[in-house]
């Protein structure tokens, strides 16, 4: 379960750090789009692709250091696991036990959006898991099998049960090509680290269960569908 204390601590840290720099990208990142628990790995100077970020894990035993397009985890000044690439529009959520990361990567305003998780020792993602593809196939199989459902955006929302499960959302791209379905999303609970689907939740149930951590993008989706 997501504890109130963990949620308030995360939001508090983001609020404090967001006041440190006038350009809106403090050294510890800023709030992500898909989840209020995620941290956007933003640029201090986007034009020159400069970013210098340091994101401590929940227990402060580790820290993720981002320099430009490179990410590296450290423990007491020593590297932990290999370095890995950080994309231009990426957000992460540390697992509560400080042993793993949940990644959401966006390629454009409407997508595609990909998500996965991985242990710190194996860097950005475990090679034997593809959470995005697993969820996309399931999502499309239970809805009309058109391009919009088959190419759903997948974003990370939260960790559950300590760090044994994670919540993702499958979102129909909010683009004119998807017409009335654009912005519709559903929740998936996935086991970690094997990536198998444990639970599926309708949009209504996803909102009921996780409204408190839905990011601005998903809130926009809710408003978009209400206006139709």
DSSP 164-178: TEEEEEEE---SGGG
Give residue for tokens 């996935």: 190
Largest separation between any pair of C-alpha atoms in the chain: 53
Residue 177 has a pLDDT of: 84
Instruction: Tokens for 119, please give them.
Output: 């242990």
State the burial class of residue 150 (Cβ atoms within 10 Å of its Cβ: 0-12, 13-18, 19+): middle
Q: What one-character DSSP code corresponds to residue 35?
A: B
Q: Which residues contact 131 (CB under 8 A, 6 or more apart)?
A: 115, 116, 117, 154, 168, 190, 195
Determine the pLDDT at residue 74.
95
Radius of gyration for the alpha carbons in the chain, expressed in angstroms and rounded: 17
Q: What is the pLDDT of residue 21?
A: 41
The whole-number pLDDT of residue 190 equals 97
Cα-to-chain-centroid distance, residue 13: 17
| Whole-number Å distance between alpha carbons of 15 and 4 | 16
Residue 23: per-residue pLDDT: 52
Contact partners, residue 58, CB within 8 Å, separation at least 6: 6, 94, 95, 96, 97, 98
pLDDT of residue 108: 77
C-alpha to C-alpha distance for 25 and 43, rounded to whole angstroms? 6
Nearest Cα to 159, choosing from 113, 96, 91? 96
Give me the pLDDT at residue 83, please.
87
Q: Is 76 exposed, middle or buried (0-12, 13-18, 19+ CB in 10 A)?
A: exposed
Question: Are the C-beta atoms of residues 186 and 152 closer than 8 Å to each other?
Answer: no
Q: What is the pLDDT of residue 122?
A: 62
| pLDDT at residue 123 in the model | 54
pTM: 0.84
**pLDDT at position 116, please?**
94
Which DSSP letter does residue 57 get? -
Q: Quote the pLDDT of residue 47.
A: 82
Where are the domains positioned within the chain? 4-226
Closest CA to 210 of 24, 38, 21, 18: 38
CA distances from 82 to 71, 77, 145, 196, 208 (A): 9, 14, 39, 25, 39
DSSP letters of 64-128?
EEEETTEEEEEETTEEEEEEEE--SSEEEEE-TTSSEEEEEEESSSS--EEEEEEEGGGTTS-TT
What does each of the 228 residues of the chain score in pLDDT, given as a tens digit? 444 344 433 444 444 333 334 357 999 999 999 999 999 999 998 888 889 999 999 999 999 999 999 999 999 989 998 888 898 899 999 999 999 999 999 987 777 999 999 888 765 555 557 999 999 999 999 987 777 889 999 999 999 998 999 999 999 998 888 878 899 999 999 999 999 999 999 999 999 999 999 999 999 999 988 765
């Amino acid at each position: 379960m997501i504890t109130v204390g963990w949620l308030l601590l995360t939001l508090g840290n983001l609020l404090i750090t967001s006041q440190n720099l006038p350009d809106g990208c403090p050294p510890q990142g800023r709030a992500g789009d898909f989840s209020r628990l995620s941290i956007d790995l933003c640029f201090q100077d986007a034009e020159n692709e400069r970013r210098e970020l340091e994101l401590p894990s929940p227990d402060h035993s580790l820290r993720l250091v981002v320099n430009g397009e490179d990410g590296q985890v450290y423990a007491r000044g020593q590297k932990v696991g290999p370095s890995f690439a950080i994309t231009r529009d990426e957000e992460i959520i540390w697992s509560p036990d400080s042993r793993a990361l949940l990644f959401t990567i966006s390629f454009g305003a409407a997508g595609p959006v990909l998500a996965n998780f991985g242990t710190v020792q194996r860097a950005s993602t475990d090679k034997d898991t593809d959470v995005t593809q697993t969820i996309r196939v399931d999502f499309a199989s239970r809805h009309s099998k058109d391009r919009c459902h088959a190419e759903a955006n997948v974003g990370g929302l939260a960790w559950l049960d300590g760090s044994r499960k994670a919540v993702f959302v499958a979102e129909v791209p909010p683009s004119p090509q998807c017409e009335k379905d654009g912005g519709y999303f559903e929740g998936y609970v996935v086991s970690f680290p094997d990536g198998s689907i444990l639970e599926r939740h309708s949009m209504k149930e996803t909102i009921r269960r996780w409204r408190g951590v839905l990011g601005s993008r998903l809130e926009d989706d809710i408003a978009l569908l209400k206006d139709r």
